[in-house]
Amino acid sequence: MSKLGSSNTTEVESSARPRHVAVIMDGNGRWARRKGHPRVFGHKYGAERVREIVEFAGQKGVKYLTLYAFSDENWRRPVEEVGAIMHLLEHYLRKERRALFEKNVRFKTVGDLSRLSTGLQKLIAETVDMLDHNTGLTLIVAVSYGGRAEITRAVKKIADKVFAGELNPDQIDQELISRHLDTENIPDPDLLIRTSGELRISNFLLWQSAYTEFYFTDVNWPDFDGVEFEKALVAYANRERRFGQSAVHSSVGSENASKLGASTC
C-alpha cells in the first residue's frame, strides 16, 4: 500500500503542525506473530512505544494527542488478552505518571470507564487529578471507547434535559451535541494516524473526525517511532485543508472549522 503525502521535507513549520493528533495504535498482535511470539508480547512493546511518541509529539508542538488504546469491540477478545491489556494500562499509569508530571503533560480519558475494574478506575481518576494543572501536551487515552456508543450517550444526556424541561429541542445544534460528547472541551483532531496498513477508522472519533486529515501507514505500532511520526506530520503539512470551501476561502474556513465542536481547555 502506498503511503499518503510522501515528501522529502524533513522539518515541519510550526504554523503547519497539527494541534491535535489522534492515533489508532494497530498491529501489536501481527508484529508479535511475525516474531514468533504471542499477541500479548506485541501489546507490551506497543505500550513501551507510547512513551516515545508522547515525548516526540510534545517536542513537535502538538497540543493534544489521543491514543486509541482499547475499543468497545475489544471486550470480545479472549479474556486473557483483555486482562493483559488492562494490566499494561495500569502498569503504564503507575510507571509513567511521575514522568508525565515532570514533562508538564496533562492526562484525560474518553470512553465508558464503568466497564473497567474499580481499582483501575480509581488509578485513572488519581492520575487525571495529579496532572490536571499541567499546561503542556494533553494526552488523551481512549479506553473502552466506541464512537457510536459515545454519540448514543450524548443523545441520551440531551434527551434527559429535554424531558426535564431544561432544554428546548430548538436549542439543539452541533455545538451543543459536541459539548455532550466525551471529548467536551477538546478540539477536534486535525490529523488521524492509523498504523499497520488497515484503511478504516474502526468506530473512532466518528463525530470529531468530520474534517480530519487521515494518514495510513503499513508500519505496525511497535515500530512506529519518531521518524514515522515525522513522516505523518510532513504529509499533513503538505495538504490543503478546505473544509468544503474553495481554495481561495480555505484559510478562513480552516480558522472557523477549528472553532467548531469544542473550545480549548
The letter for the amino acid at 202 is: S
Instruction: Decide if pLDDT at 67 tops 90.
Output: yes
Question: What is the arithmetic mean of pLDDT over 228-247?
Answer: 86
Beta carbons of 22 and 212 less than 8 angstroms apart? yes
Instruction: Decide if pLDDT at 218 tops 60.
Output: yes
Of the residues 26, 182, 188, 190, which is catalytic?
26
Per-residue burial over 138-147, b if 16 or more Cβ lie within 10 Å, else e, is: bbbbbbbbbb
User: So what's the pLDDT on residue 71?
Assistant: 96
Question: What is the arithmetic mean of pLDDT over 144-173?
Answer: 98
The per-residue pLDDT for range 78-107, each reduced to its tens digit, is 999 999 999 999 999 999 999 999 999 999
Task: Name the percent of the chain lying above pLDDT 70.
Answer: 85
203 flagged as catalytic: no
Question: What is the arithmetic mean of pLDDT over 122-131?
Answer: 98
User: So what's the pLDDT on residue 249?
Assistant: 54
Instruction: Decide if pLDDT at 257 tops 90.
Output: no
Band of pLDDT at residue 16, cut at 50, 70 and 90? confident
Instruction: Decide if pLDDT at 6 tops 50.
Output: no
Residue 62 and residue 65: Cα distance in Å, rounded?
A: 7
26 flagged as catalytic: yes
Question: What is the arithmetic mean of pLDDT over 153-161?
Answer: 98
Mean predicted lDDT score pLDDT of the chain: 89
What domains are defined for the chain?
20-257 (3.40.1180.10)
User: So what's the pLDDT on residue 41?
Assistant: 87
The per-residue pLDDT for range 29-40, each reduced to its tens digit, is 899 999 999 888
Instruction: Decide if pLDDT at 129 tops 60.
Output: yes
Band of pLDDT at residue 240, cut at 50, 70 and 90? confident
Residue 147 and residue 134: Cα distance in Å, rounded?
A: 27
Residue 87 and residue 80: Cα distance in Å, rounded?
A: 10
Question: CA-based Rg of the chain, rounded to a whole angstrom?
Answer: 19
Of the residues 72, 74, 203, 238, which is catalytic?
74
Q: In the numeric block, which cell numbers belong to residue 187? A: 478540539
